[in-house]
Amino acid sequence: MTITDEASAENLSDSATHIDCARKFKKLKQIARIGDGGLQQVAGSKRRAEDDIEEIFPPETATRILSIPVNADGVDKLQWIWNKRKQYDVSTGYTIAYNFYHVPTAQLSPLLQNQVIWKQIWGLKIQTKLQIFLWRAIHERLPVMHVIHRRFENTLPLCLRCRVEDETITHCLHRCGPAAATWNALFPTETVARNGSPDFATWWMQVITKNQGTETLVRIVIICWELWKARNREVFEGKKMTVEEITEVVARYC
């Protein structure tokens, strides 16, 4: 027998098994019917449905069928298993939807699981859009060219402004264009580091561990926000902002 013949024989065997199971299930339906919560005996039948299952199906299959937990009382109903009330709510629904598209918290780096970061961010007295911006920066979700390149490999990670380095978030907000000069004008190097951090999350952790106070943290977030806006204005509108213009806008916030 050739390999092809063996495969055909195996397929025929599987088909015969499926047909046999279908016939057995049809016979079972003639003896018992599915009710609200379990198998019920049809009027006139003197046998238990369990006996018929054990007779019709192989022992292993019958055992698996009979081990299914069913409640013979009451009417079947849908239940939401993700909370104690067994009813859908927005909170657990959001959590499930979020987990479809995000890495579970337990699989994130220890840095991103650090609750100190998030308590400080959501506790800052700043606009919600700035908090969300900071959250996106820490999670590497700002659409700089380096992030876009990871999702669409046909794009180049090169910075569209300086065309010297890959445009990472730290490159965009710390070194490129007017960024470095803006930080030098507003903060000394020992207060806010410029280089050396591999990613924004590490840099932000260094910032908050210096215990610089809430006002300083707010000002740092505002500077990052304005540098991001200046970057977008230059990339998409071709309008460059000077260091003086950026620092003037920052001063209005503070």
Cα 217 to Cα 157: distance, rounded to the nearest angstrom: 30
Name the band, by pLDDT with cuts 50, 70 and 90, for residue 11. very low
Q: Is residue 189 part of a domain?
A: yes
Structural domain count of the chain: 3
37 and 136 part of one domain: no
Q: Is the pLDDT of residue 61 over 80?
A: yes
| Least confident piece of the model among 20-24, 67-71, 170-174, 187-191 | 20-24
Q: What angle do CA 199, 201, 202 make, to 5 degrees?
A: 70
103 and 115 part of one domain: no
Q: What angle do CA 211, 214, 219 make, to 5 degrees?
A: 105
165 and 193 part of one domain: yes
62 and 102 part of one domain: no
Name the band, by pLDDT with cuts 50, 70 and 90, for residue 19. low
* Mean per-residue pLDDT, 179-186: 91
| Least confident piece of the model among 31-40, 109-118, 136-145 | 31-40
Q: Is residue 140 part of a domain?
A: yes
55 and 101 part of one domain: no
Q: Is residue 72 part of a domain?
A: no
Name the band, by pLDDT with cuts 50, 70 and 90, for residue 52. confident
What pLDDT is attached to residue 250? 92
Domain span holding position 87: 78-107
Q: Tell me the per-residue pLDDT of 76-86, one tens digit each, with 9 for 90 and over.
A: 788 899 899 99
What pLDDT is attached to residue 62? 87
144 and 230 part of one domain: yes
116 and 101 part of one domain: no
What pLDDT is attached to residue 17? 56
Cα 122 to Cα 117: distance, rounded to the nearest angstrom: 9
95 and 166 part of one domain: no
Task: For the beta carbon of residue 136, count every other beta carbon within 10 angstroms.
Answer: 16
189 and 141 part of one domain: yes
Q: Is residue 73 part of a domain?
A: no
Cα 72 to Cα 16: distance, rounded to the nearest angstrom: 34
* Mean per-residue pLDDT, 50-72: 83
Q: How would you classify residue 57: left for phi > 0, otherwise alpha for psi between -120 and 50, otherwise beta?
A: beta
17 and 122 part of one domain: no
Tell me the sheet residues that pair with 229.
none
Q: Are 208 and 116 in contact (CB under 8 A)?
A: yes
119 and 178 part of one domain: yes
Q: Is residue 23 part of a domain?
A: yes
Name the band, by pLDDT with cuts 50, 70 and 90, for residue 99. confident
